[in-house]
Chains A and B, each alone.
Chain A
Amino acid sequence: MSAADVAVRPRLALSSNFQQGLYRILAAALLCMVLSGLSEAFMTQNNILNVLRQTALLFLMASGLTLVILTAGLDLSVGANIGLSACLAASVIKTSDSAVLGTATGIGCGMLVGLANGALVTALRIPSFIATYGMMWMLTGITYFYMAGETIHGFPPAFRQLGIGYLLGIPMPIYVMLLFLAIGTFFAQRTVWGQQVYAIGANPVAARLSGVPVPSRLVLVYTVSGAMAGLASLIILARINSAQGDIGEDLTLPAIAAVLVGGTSLFGGSGTVIGTLIGALILTLVLNGMNLLQINASWQPLVTGVIVLLAVWISTRTRRMNE
C-alpha cells in the first residue's frame, strides 16, 4: 500500500462505508421481515425491546473492540476483562453498598486491563493476538482466584436500574448504547485522534511518518476497549444481579463476530462504529429468531457461523467492487 493509496482512500472509504452500512441495514430489515412472518411473537413490543436490550449489551462489548480492530489489532481478552471487572465491581458494591464506587471500580478495572494490553503491544512489542491471549489467561486466573468458586449476589436497586430500569418505556441499556454510539461515531469520524486511528490501521508506517504518535494512539484504543468492557460488565451485573467467576466466558468471540459482521476489516483502516451496532443487531436477531422458533440450541453455532461468513463475504465483495 503506497502513500498514494492512503491519500485516495479517505474519499472512497466514506462512500464505501456508507454502502456497507446500507447493505447491512437492509439485511437486518430483511431478517426482521422474515422473522415476523415466521413467528407472531416477534413483532411485539416486549420482544423488540428485548432484542434491542440484548443488542445493546453486545454492542457495548464490541464498540471499543472496533477501534482496536481499526488499527489492525485484536483484543482476545474482552471476555476475561468483563469477568474480572464484574467480579471486582460486585465485590465493591457489596462491601461499600455504593453503586458509584462499584461503577468506578468496574470501569477502572476495565481501563487498567486495556492499558496493560496497550503497554504489551506498544512497549513490549508483542503482537496483539498473543498479548491479549496471554492477558486473557492471566485475567481468568486472577478472577478464579479472587472468586474462589463463590457467587456474589444481591445489588442495591439504584445500581440495578442500569440493567433492568426503564425510562419512558425503553430499557436503560438502550440509552447507554445510543450514547456510546454517538460518542464512538463522533470520535472516529470527527476528531483528529479518530482519523489517526484509521490511518494507523490503513498504513502504520505512513501514519508514523506523517507525525501520528502511533504508540500513544494504540494505547488509547486498547484502554478504550478495556473501559467499554468494564462498562458492559456493569450492565451484566445489573441485569443478572450476581457475579460468578465464569461471567465473561464465551463473550469474546461473539463480540469479535459483531465487529466483523458489521463490516470492519481485520486488516485495519476500514469500518464504522455504527456498523458494529448493526452487526450486533443482526447476530442478536438470529439468536432471538432461533429461540422464538424453538429451534434446537445445537443449531445455533452452525447458523451463526454461516451468517458470519455470509456477512463478511458480502462486505469483502462490495469493498472489492469499490477498488
Chain B
Amino acid sequence: MKQHLATGVAAAVVLFAAGTGFAADETIAVFTKNQTNPYFQAVRVGAETAAKTLGVKVEQYVPTKPDSIPEQLSQVEDVIVKKPNAIVFIPVDYKALVPAVEKINAAGIPVTNITDRAASGNFVAFVGADDYAIALATGRALLKAMGGRGNVIILEGVKGSLTASDRLRGFTDAIKEFPEVKLLASQPANFQRLPALQVMENLMQSFPTIDGVLAANDPMAIGAIEALDGANRKALVVGINGSKEAVDLIKSGKLVASGDFNGFIQGCLGVEIAVRNLRKESTPKEIILKPVVIDATNSSPYETPVEQRTCPTLADMVSQ
C-alpha cells in the first residue's frame, strides 16, 4: 500500500509540473505581500494583463504566512536558483528585505520595485504612488466637504508600514490647513475592516460628536461606516484604494471620496518596464502616479472590475 501511495504522490507532482509547463519565453517573477489584501490581487491582475499583451510569462510569489519577512526572503533565494529573466518586487517590509534585493542584484537579475520603495538596492525603476500626496488630497476633499470645520478622527494603517506613516502625514498636514478642524484621536486599525469597526465603536463612546473620519484605506473606511450606521450616527468618511466597494458607496452617498491607490496600474507598469528593459528599450527611472481623488463626479471609470481593465501604456503615463 505504501508503494501505491508513493506512486500516487510522484504522479501528482509530475502532473503539477506538467501543468506549469516549460516556459520558452521570458519569465517575470512577481512578488507581492499576501494573498488576502485586494490591493495586491489588483497588482497581480495588472501584471498578468500586461504579460499577456507583451507575450511574456509571469510567476507569482506570495508568502504562505501573510506579510512574512523570512518567507519572502526564502522565496527570493529560491527564485534566484530558477533565474527568471526579470523580477518585479514589492518588499514585505521596505527595510528588512534589503538583503533580498542585494541577493537579486548579486545574481544579476534585473529588478523593478513597485508600491513600497525599498530602503536601498539597484532597481531598473520604481513605480509607485505618492501616499503622502494621495492622503493630502483625500484629506482636503473631506475637510472641504465638512465646510472646513468640525471634529475628525484618523484611522491609521499598520504600524511600521511606510504607506501607513506617509498617509498619516498627509492627513495631519491636510488638517493643519483648516484651523477650525479639531483632531480628536488617531488610532491604528491595521488596514482591516473588523478592527476599524471596533475601534470606531469605541471612539464613538469617548467622543459624542465626530464629524469626519479620515481612514487610511477603504476597508477601514467601510468598517467606520458600518460602525456609524450601527449606532445611528452620521459622519463624513473618506478612504483610500478606489476599490469597487468604495465606488459603490460613493455613488450611494455613504462615502465622500476615496483616494485612487489601486495596484492594477502599478502591476501593469512594473511588468511593462521589466519587459522593455529586457528588450533593451528605454525605460523611465521612476513613475510616481498622480494623486487622484475619486468622488461622485469622476467615479464611472472606476466601476469596471480590474480583471476587465486594460493596461495603460508607458507612453500614456509619461505624457501625463
Give chain A's interface residues, CB within 8 Å of chain B: 39, 41-42, 44, 46-47, 50, 54, 144, 147-151, 153-154, 164, 236, 239-242, 244-247, 249, 288, 291-292, 294, 297-298
Contact with A along B245-257 (1 / 0, CB 8 A): 1001000000000
CB distance from B47 to the nearest CB of A (A): 13
Q: Would you list which residues of chain B between 231 and 278 have a CB under 8 Å from chain A? A: 231, 243, 245, 248
Contact status B202-A292, CB under 8 Å:
yes
Closest partner residue, chain A, to B40 (CB atom): A149
Contact status A50-B66, CB under 8 Å:
no
Find B226's partner among A46, A241, A245, A247 (CB 8 Å cutoff). A241
Closest partner residue, chain B, to A164 (CB atom): B230
Closest partner residue, chain B, to A289 (CB atom): B202
Asked whether any CB of chain A lies closer than 8 Å to the CB of B206, the reply is: yes
Contact status A239-B35, CB under 8 Å:
no
Residues of B within 8 A of A44 (CB): 205
Distance in angstroms between the alpha carbons of A294 and B199 in the assembled complex: 10
Residues of B within 8 A of A245 (CB): 35-36
Contact status B222-A242, CB under 8 Å:
yes
- Kindly specify which of B91-99, B127-135, B168-176, B186-194 makes contact with the partner chain: B186-194
Asked whether any CB of chain A lies closer than 8 Å to the CB of B117, the reply is: no
Residues of B within 8 A of A151 (CB): 38, 219, 243, 245
Known: A240-B223, A244-B219. 18 other contacts (CB 8 A): A41-B206, A54-B198, A144-B36, A148-B41, A149-B40, A151-B245, A239-B194, A241-B222, A242-B245, A245-B36, A246-B66, A249-B66, A288-B202, A291-B202, A291-B203, A292-B202, A294-B206, A298-B159
Distance in angstroms between the alpha carbons of A239 and B201 in the assembled complex: 12
| Chain B interface, DSSP helix/strand/loop, else mixed | helix
Asked whether any CB of chain A lies closer than 8 Å to the CB of B9, the reply is: no
Contact status A244-B206, CB under 8 Å:
no
27 A-B pairs with CB atoms under 8 Å apart are A44-B205, A46-B204, A47-B202, A50-B201, A50-B205, A54-B198, A149-B35, A149-B36, A149-B37, A149-B38, A149-B40, A149-B41, A153-B222, A153-B245, A154-B245, A164-B226, A236-B194, A240-B226, A241-B222, A242-B193, A242-B222, A242-B245, A245-B36, A249-B66, A292-B205, A292-B206, A297-B159
Find A150's partner among B38, B188, B192 (CB 8 Å cutoff). B38
CB distance from B191 to the nearest CB of A (A): 11
Closest partner residue, chain B, to A47 (CB atom): B205
Residues of A within 8 A of B188 (CB): 297
Residues of A within 8 A of B202 (CB): 47, 50, 288, 291-292
Residues of A within 8 A of B167 (CB): none
Contact status A147-B201, CB under 8 Å:
no
Residues of B within 8 A of A39 (CB): 206
Distance in angstroms between the alpha carbons of A121 and B187 in the assembled complex: 43
Closest partner residue, chain B, to A251 (CB atom): B194
* Interface residue total, chain B, C-beta cutoff 8 A: 36
Residues of B within 8 A of A240 (CB): 193-194, 197, 223, 226
Closest partner residue, chain B, to A148 (CB atom): B41
Find A294's partner among B36, B66, B185, B198 (CB 8 Å cutoff). B185
Contact status B187-A297, CB under 8 Å:
yes
Asked whether any CB of chain A lies closer than 8 Å to the CB of B140, the reply is: no
Residues of B within 8 A of A54 (CB): 198
Closest partner residue, chain B, to A245 (CB atom): B36
CB distance from A101 to the nearest CB of B (A): 23
Distance in angstroms between the alpha carbons of A292 and B205 in the assembled complex: 8
Contact status B197-A147, CB under 8 Å:
no
